[in-house]
Amino acid sequence: MSDIDNCTHDCSTCGVDCPSREASGNNPADFLEEPHQFSSIKKVIGVISGKGGVGKSMVSALLAVLLNRMGYKTAVLDADITGPSIPKMFGLHGKAGATDSALLPVSTKMGIDIMSVNLLLEDETSPVIWRGPVIAGVVKQFWTDVIWEDVDFMFVDMPPGTGDVPLTIFQSLPVDGIVVVTSPQELVSMIVTKAVAMAKMMDIPILGIVENMSYATCPDCGKRINIFGESKLEDTATKHGLEVLAQIPINPTLSEASDQGLIELFDGDWLDIAAAKIESMLDK
Ligand code: ADP
């Protein structure tokens, strides 16, 4: 059965470009959800990747930490509902609070506000076995029903891929810019092309590409080892007219810090250019 045969007549949960969508308007702004009345969020940055495990959550977390260190109030909306890893990176295991009409994010030690499905589940190790529209609905609620107070930069750790769920999220949240995270192996695939196409369709600027797990540094001699061969990053970026924001090495200290919930203590300057570019969004 085609997607159109499955039509639920709810365009907000569907990315299919069909005639009835035309009738309801094709403007991305048509599907935007309002944040909670007590929320204040200046800029929303979506962090995307083609597949899981390339470090999208790591980059979301590191950017939130960096901008926080620069004196801004930051937040992470963990939209990777089936693979939530943000709370663990920050060492959060508590439950999100709630009022009669809203959910409250959990604050990290440095004061970064986090909302994730793992902060709501009775048992954080339970798998989330929900269908796409339900997942997208939960992410929308993380936007509409959570009080995000005085946030300068919110990072949305998106579900991997360019399927229906990320598309619905992009239609529902007013994303100001996208950071594409890739790994060297991924660059040779079509993912960057797909991500660029999705961003263009949504009319959202891509801030640039971050290549994670780019290389390793020999602990003895400091030599840079290109584990996956020569990087294709520059070629790919040029092909799509994108800026290279960073190349992050495979770094055991980084994975240890994230495994131990101590990502806020990370030490590294890989994402400084990306952070400065995001900071400059406030001028616009
Ligand atoms: P994604 O969000 O894309 O699924 P994650 O950010 O959760 O991926 O990263 C997957 C795993 O790889 C995590 O255990 C994380 O700690 C580790 N990791 C990510 N980037 C690096 C890196 N540059 N060096 C070492 N480990 C990393």
| Domain CATH code at residue 150 | 3.40.50.300
**Residues paired with 155 in a beta bridge:** 45, 76
Q: Are 63 and 45 in contact (CB under 8 A)?
A: yes
Distance, in Å, from the CA atom of 276 to the CA atom of 273, rounded to the nearest integer, reads 5
Return the structure tokens found at 198: 């999705």
Domain that holds residue 224: 35-279
Has residue 53 been placed in a domain?
yes
Please tell me the predicted confidence (pLDDT) of residue 195. 81
Please tell me the predicted confidence (pLDDT) of residue 16. 65
Has residue 1 been placed in a domain?
no
Has residue 60 been placed in a domain?
yes
Pocket test for ligand 1, best of 211, 255, 267 (most atoms within 8 A of CB): 255
Has residue 5 been placed in a domain?
no
Quick one: which atom of ligand 1 is closest to the CA of 80? 2
* Positions in the chain whose pLDDT score sits under 70: 1-6, 8-29, 187-189
The most distant pair of C-alpha atoms in the chain lies apart, rounded to whole Å, by: 64
Strands 151-157 and 103-104: unpaired
Question: What is the number of domains present in the chain?
Answer: 1
- Sign (positive or negative) of CA dihedral 53, 55, 60, 62: positive
Residue 11 CA, ligand 1 centroid: distance in Å: 34
CB 55 less than 6 A from any atom of ligand 1 = yes
Has residue 261 been placed in a domain?
yes
User: For residue 248, which amino acid is it?
Assistant: I
Has residue 24 been placed in a domain?
no
Has residue 78 been placed in a domain?
yes
Judged by DSSP in three states, 65 sits in helix
Distance, in Å, from the CA atom of 104 to the CA atom of 219, rounded to the nearest integer, reads 43
Which residue owns the Cα nearest ligand 1 atom 15?
A: 255
CB 253 less than 6 A from any atom of ligand 1 = no
Look up the pTM and report it. Answer: 0.89
Q: 144-164: buried (b, 16+ CB within 10 Å) or exposed (e) per residue? A: bbbbbeebbbbbbbbbbbbeb
Residue 58 CA, ligand 1 centroid: distance in Å: 6
Has residue 146 been placed in a domain?
yes
Quick one: which atom of ligand 1 is closest to the CA of 259? 16
